[in-house]
Amino acid sequence: MSPTAEIYAEILLPLALETTYTYKVPEELQRAATFGKRVEVQFGNRKRYSGLIVNIKAVPPSHKTKSIISVLDEKPVIQLRQYKLWQWMANYYCCTVGEVMRAALPGAYLLSSETIIKALKDIDEDKVLQLGDPLYTLFRIIQPREAITLDELEKASGLKILYPHIVTLYQLGMIVVVEELTERYTPKKVKLVQLASQYGDEEGMKSALDKVASSEKQTRLLLSYLAITNQEIIPIEPKELIDKAEVSKSILDTLIKKEIFEEVFKEINRMDRYAGDDIPVGTTLTDLQLSVHEKMKILWQDHEVVLLHGVTGSGKTLIYTELIKEVIESGGQVLYMVPEIGLSVQILKRLKQLFGKQITISHSRLSENERVDLWQQVSTGIPIVAGVRSSIFLPFQNLQLIIVDEEHDLSYKQQDPNPRYNARDMAIVLGKEHNAKVILGSATPSVESYYHSETGKYGRVELPERYQGMQLPKVHLIDIRKDKSKEGVMYSHSLIESIRKTLSEKKQIIIYKNRRGYAPVLKCGVCNWIAECDQCDVALTYHKARNVLACHICGSVKGIVNICPACGSPRLIFEGYGTEKIEDELAVIFPEARIKRMDLDTTRGKNNLEGLIYDFEKGDIDILVGTQMVTKGLDFDHVGLVGVIYADQALHFPDFRAAERTFQTLVQVSGRAGRKYEQGTVMIQTYQPDHPVLQDVIHGDFIPFYKREIAEREEFHYPPFVRQIAIMIRHKQFEISREAAELFVMELKPVFGKRILGPSVPTIGRVRNQFIHMIYIKVERDSKLLTSVKDAIKNFQAGIVKKRSFSTVRVSVDVDPSH
């Protein structure tokens, strides 16, 4: 096409809009304007956005068009195959491509009038003076301010074309783009000790030894430091020094006061902290693993997806690493997906030891600058990406293998906002787009994945034994009605005695209870009033450490009350158990034990979770009390006992997956016991020891569980035999929410009949002062029928906002919901 011809570009904006928008390409920008590049455009009367060119055409639209203001990139930001994936996702998950774009691209790429930028500190003044106009003027406007929006900067500078200059300043490393003013990334620091600098030479060391000569323990501590550091001044961990010298911490504190030692703080990278040499990286595959490895390759000849079903501790990671080696030796890229980065530090440590700079890590706590760096790393072909669900959006160049570890995990499902996708399923779509092979790995595969392997859609290989013949743990069910201890109503005598025995054997213990906080209910003992959230239909949980009542749905917090607001009685009681209460009570029962808690409250900081895992791995924690976090893929050498406080809770959820979730959780948490050296023990407290799911857990037998579960799914028409779509209708008034939901059913029922269920009020019927009604649609696995249902839903969504009484109703669509 001649550069002087009149051309137009279809621009995708990062907004919830159903269509792209056509803009004229000015003659001077025609050579630069190509597919996948970002451009600056005006949308509406005042707003400006960075949109993506997704098509170039010569045919003008029938309406008047605005012109592109500027082209922001020298190279395309996305490839055609990525755009096709976005379109597929938007179509399947009933959202817009703009919403997918917003989820996929780093925030620093999504410039808009509201984008917040700020100058980086300590910029060399010479570097600033070398800037030409208008970069110099722009930076001088930005530099003295805490932060400024692009809209404000445009007004202050008077520039009509602004975005390309912002991109240049960003690339020069002079500004940062942030999503919120509150965004801060503080590095993790550890406290170390070292010999004071004045004692660094031979004379200084003699002087230091003279000063401690009167104390044998102080002398031993100093000599131990010199032995560890080979007589150099090197910061080391206080515990390492104390253990080496076999003295108490007070001896070290004394030498710090004497200024012979000094404390230093060192910044550590979250992954570097785990870069020790204690895990062998050259471990060879067993005969069984070699057999599985070869069988997978054969299955890939006829199947794009292979399910690796291996018991906990069977060495699935070793097979993954062998396959990764083969792919990167051939020049390909690998995506290794994990449910949560924080709970996968041990696996990632092994991968970093093996592959070094060939691997990069993608996770939700990266800064916006780091996200851009990651995007560019992947686009230039870094061989291995390990990441969470959002890593499916990265710009892979030669993707040949996708590994979805713990494929059953709920964390792969994006709950809110759009797109509400399942990353496991999208990994399969991504694999098809790149012609890459896919592994789904789990000790407790989802019913859907196992069904697909049974019907031949997926291949399947089995690893029924633990690595090097280690035995699976012994699992015991404890009937809490019959086996109670004097220490507390939630602890059986058997569990307390097992904890005591395990501690005496110098082994570690994990206690699982999927409820954080101290007590889930504050109740009046006279009138049965319960402290509830003002915005949600849920009881407030008491958190003892903060002495507050907190809502685990919306996050709102209230102060503790001492008098019942309903009847005035002071007889307020806490009911139920959370991890905080268990931690407190076990500390009373076992005062010598070192007890820590792993739940959302104790792992909010960027490095808190990794620190807990590191301390438990080192043996600095005897008992780890936790929520579902302790069930997920952690590999510790010395866990002798796993205790489950109340196994029945999840079985009673109004969810067709309740039995599946319970089985998976209990088998996974059981798998943390006895992974090396000796067989472990698992004690599960229950009120229903005869429940078939719990009996399957005892025997570690997936097949009977699967056969019973799949038969029930088929009988009652649940996935994988149907597709399920959940529609959530929300409004601040209950009646309007109900009327909108009833209108939805009335309009769609004549077409889809019994496939529509509801409307109904969910267990938690009000969240953040929005009343909720749910509608479920079950659709046969027919692509044409599924498309017609989605079209009908979209038409309803588009039409309801035009009705005056329903204009503020919110409709959310969740295809393949997790519950």
Distance CA 341, CA 347 (A): 10
More confident residue, 531 or 648: 531
Is residue 274 scored above 60 in pLDDT? no
More confident residue, 34 or 186: 34
Distance CA 453, CA 408 (A): 14
Question: In whole numbers, what is the pLDDT of the chain averaged over residues?
Answer: 88
- For residue 349 the two structure tokens come to 């440590």
pTM: 0.81
Distance CA 335, CA 376 (A): 15
Is residue 281 scored above 50 in pLDDT? no
**CA distances to 66, 184, 800, 801 from 808, in Å:** 31, 34, 9, 7
| Close Cβ partners of 489 (under 8 Å, ≥ 6 residues apart) | none
Distance CA 235, CA 394 (A): 39
Locate tokens 């979730």: which residue?
661
Long-range contacts of 276-283 (CB under 8 A, 24+ apart): 276/349, 277/353, 279/346, 279/349, 279/350, 279/353, 281/350, 281/353, 281/354, 283/318
- For residue 620 the two structure tokens come to 């600095």
Is residue 794 scored above 90 in pLDDT? no
In this predicted model, what pLDDT tens digit does every residue of 737-780 receive, in sequence order? 999 999 999 988 888 888 999 899 999 999 999 999 999 999 99
| Nearest-5° Cα angle at 730, 729 to 734 | 110
In this predicted model, what pLDDT tens digit does every residue of 586-638 receive, in sequence order? 999 999 999 999 888 877 765 677 778 888 888 899 999 988 887 776 667 78
Is residue 573 scored above 70 in pLDDT? yes
The reply to whether 474-519+576-711 shares the fold of 287-468 is yes
- For residue 755 the two structure tokens come to 């496939």
In this predicted model, what pLDDT tens digit does every residue of 153-173 receive, in sequence order? 988 998 888 889 998 998 888
The pLDDT of 789-808, averaged and rounded, is 82
The pLDDT of 329-349, averaged and rounded, is 85
CATH superfamily entry for domain 7-109: PriA, 3(prime) DNA-binding domain (3.40.1440.60)
Is residue 179 scored above 80 in pLDDT? no
Distance CA 540, CA 556 (A): 9
Give yes or no for a contact between 615 and 621, defined as CB atoms under 8 angstroms apart: yes
Is residue 669 scored above 90 in pLDDT? no
pLDDT computed for residue 182 by the predictor: 36
In this predicted model, what pLDDT tens digit does every residue of 509-567 receive, in sequence order? 999 998 889 999 999 999 999 999 999 999 999 999 889 999 999 889 999 999 999 99
Distance CA 500, CA 104 (A): 50
Q: Given 1.10.10.10, 1.10.3720.10, 3.30.70.600, 3.40.50.2300, which CATH number is that of 722-815?
A: 3.30.70.600
pLDDT computed for residue 279 by the predictor: 38
- For residue 448 the two structure tokens come to 């859907």
Return the HEC string of 54-122: EEEECCCCCCCCCECCEECCCCCCCCHHHHHHHHHHHHHCCCCHHHHHHHHCCHHHCCECCCEEEECCC
In this predicted model, what pLDDT tens digit does every residue of 9-30 receive, in sequence order? 999 999 988 899 999 999 999 9
- For residue 644 the two structure tokens come to 């489950």
Confidence of residue 82 (pLDDT cuts 50, 70, 90): very high
CATH superfamily entry for domain 474-519+576-711: P-loop containing nucleotide triphosphate hydrolases (3.40.50.300)
| Close Cβ partners of 421 (under 8 Å, ≥ 6 residues apart) | 89, 93, 389, 413, 414
More confident residue, 284 or 686: 686
The pLDDT of 301-308, averaged and rounded, is 95
In this predicted model, what pLDDT tens digit does every residue of 118-155 receive, in sequence order? 888 888 888 888 898 899 999 999 999 888 988 889 88
517-552 per-residue burial string, b: 16 or more CB within 10 A, e: under 16: bbbbebbbeeeebebbbebbbbbbbbbbeeeebbbb
pLDDT computed for residue 708 by the predictor: 95
In this predicted model, what pLDDT tens digit does every residue of 206-217 receive, in sequence order? 889 999 999 999
CATH of domain 287-468: 3.40.50.300
pLDDT computed for residue 631 by the predictor: 75
The pLDDT of 413-437, averaged and rounded, is 95
pLDDT computed for residue 267 by the predictor: 57
- For residue 56 the two structure tokens come to 């170039």
Q: Where are the domains of the chain?
A: 7-109, 116-178, 188-268, 287-468, 474-519+576-711, 524-571, 722-815
Give yes or no for a contact between 724 and 718, defined as CB atoms under 8 angstroms apart: yes
Is residue 7 scored above 90 in pLDDT? yes
pLDDT computed for residue 269 by the predictor: 42
Give Dmax over CA atoms of the chain in angstroms. 95
Confidence of residue 489 (pLDDT cuts 50, 70, 90): low
